[in-house]
Structure 1
Amino acid sequence: MKRIVLVITLALFVLTGYSQPLTVRTKLIKYTNELMEVDLHIPIISGATNQAFQRNVNRLLRKQSLDLKREVEKQARENAVLSKKQGFPYRLHSAVSRFTVTYNKNGILSIPVTLYSYTGGAHGMTVKVPNTFDFNTGKQLQLSDIFKKGSNYKQVIIHEVITQIKKESDVYFDNAIDVVKNMPDNQPYYLTNNGIVVYYGLYEIAPYAAGIREFLIPFSTLQPFMKITLS
């Protein structure tokens, strides 16, 4: 009986383990019409043993880009009508999405998606959507999911971010440190091969011109608090 259990356990490990990175391809949707230009790079994941979770992930990633297109398209129609009524020139709207595979090891995939929209006005808006998935457990990982319950990980991250802010304090709003001190459990982040990057969107802690502010915290600093092995 022990031998049978051992064989089953080993077989399960082979079936669910990820010795190779997942495959990520790009679906491109690109066109321009009288209302807007669309340039979407949508990631498509393959190679997972958990096919149901893989389908859910692909559906989510596709939705992020297509929702952007729909929102800009709706705004474009409304603004085109308004420009004719009020006699001001219509500016071509834009919906652009890009993704970067920042971590892809042992069934854990981090793939932030950047969404850019322009709907008239002085400048467009950029939003970075955090996407980190554990294909071993079939779960999307929030920042808190990476660390042991009750550990002091958040204070360590906050300390590291504040240290980096102080090195170029003139870039940030006066209340930037206060915002960082109130870091939520679902703080946006992504993984890299060197560590965890937490980030803040446009206007959150710095002016628009400063862009999305990102802070790398090395794995070596966070390892004592982590329940998931990352490297």
Structure 2
Amino acid sequence: MTTRKSVVSALLSTSLILGAIAVPALAAPPVQPAAAGTQQESRIVFTPKSTNISAKEYEAKITIPIISGLADKAFETQLNAELQKFAAESLKNTQAQSKADAELAKKGGWELRPHALDISYNVIHTGKLLSFAVTTYTYTGGAHGMTNVTYYNIANLDKAQSLQLSDLFQPGFDFKYVINNLIKQQIADEEKRTGFEMSYWFEGISDNQAFSFKDGNLVIHFGQYEIAPYAVGMPSFTIPAHRFQNLLKADIRDLLK
């Protein structure tokens, strides 16, 4: 597992070529009514902020949310700033790498495969628990692109908190043991169903493992290459509510109501 992860980390590290390249500002769309481009529930509003750039060396399609309606305005401001910074830095990296690769292609006499950056978001839940995901796809000319999904789970309270998986459970309960065994069982069930051994190297979840909630159930998410080969994609495992509800902190159960 360590060798595979090291190879992946090296590939990703070498793909980021930093440079001082001007980054165009993300263009905010004109104000639209809720039905025409915003998602609203419990006074929380997601307004898309987009930019599309098409150049010889790369193409970028970026849509990030501008979030309003949180109880904690300072947290709201910081969160929006972080999302905009992430988009700007991702665009800068794409511009820098595509320019560098274009120069190499010119010197080497080979045709450049235009790079690509695609950032989008998906709202999972709003209310006391604010949950959304930001998906980033990058292509740098290789056999295939890479996709990364960042899940945000925020306690929408007067003092907002960005929740990690370990924040959900009461102290003293070994939630990892419970979840790890359920995931291993699901992998084993899939192997039995398909009739062949799945290519997983799952050993266990981390304190900050990506997660979301769906229909009251806990969903554990893994990235590309995290526990399986590229062909497997980004595996996710649903943990039924009755398997973990008694382990949750009381205030977390309140957020999910």
TM over 0.5: yes
- Give yes or no for the alignment of 1:130 onto 2:156: no
- Give yes or no for the alignment of 1:82 onto 2:104: yes
Counterpart for residue 24 of structure 1: 46
Shift in Å at residue 171 of structure 1?
A: 6.9
What is the alpha-carbon distance in structure 2 between the residues aligned to residue 156 and residue 21 of structure 1?
A: 35
- Give yes or no for the alignment of 1:162 onto 2:188: no
What is the alpha-carbon distance in structure 2 between the residues aligned to residue 80 and residue 134 of structure 1?
A: 45
What is the alpha-carbon distance in structure 2 between the residues aligned to residue 134 and residue 224 of structure 1?
A: 19
Aligned length: 208
Superposed CA deviations along residues 106-165 of structure 1, whole A, max 9, x for unmatched, are 2x2111111100011101000111211112132111100111112122211112211111
What is the alpha-carbon distance in structure 1 between the residues aligned to residue 68 and residue 150 of structure 2?
A: 20
Change (3 A) 1:75 1:222: same
Change (3 A) 1:226 1:46: same
Structure 2 alignment gaps of length 5 or more: 1-40
Structure 1 alignment gaps of length 5 or more: 1-18
Where do residues 42-81 of structure 1 align in structure 2 (5 Å cutoff)? 42-81=64-103
One-letter amino acid of the counterpart of residue 126, structure 1: T
Asked if structure 2 preserves the Cα contact closer than 8 Å seen for 1:172 and 1:207, the reply is no
Shift in Å at residue 58 of structure 1?
A: 1.1
Superposed CA deviations along residues 6-42 of structure 1, whole A, max 9, x for unmatched, are xxxxxxxxxxxxx925111211111211121111110
One-letter amino acid of the counterpart of residue 214, structure 2: T
- Give yes or no for the alignment of 1:120 onto 2:141: yes
**RMSD between superposed Cα atoms in Å:** 1.7
Find runs of 4+ consecutive structure 1 residues off by over 6 angstroms: none
- Give yes or no for the alignment of 1:173 onto 2:173: no
Asked if structure 1 preserves the Cα contact closer than 8 Å seen for 2:71 and 2:160, the reply is no
Asked if structure 1 preserves the Cα contact closer than 8 Å seen for 2:169 and 2:247, the reply is yes
- Give yes or no for the alignment of 1:226 onto 2:252: no
What is the alpha-carbon distance in structure 1 between the residues aligned to residue 43 and residue 176 of structure 2?
A: 29
Which shifted more, 203-212 or 190-199? 190-199
- Give the TM-score normalised by structure 1: 0.84
What is the alpha-carbon distance in structure 1 between the residues aligned to residue 184 and residue 124 of structure 2?
A: 23
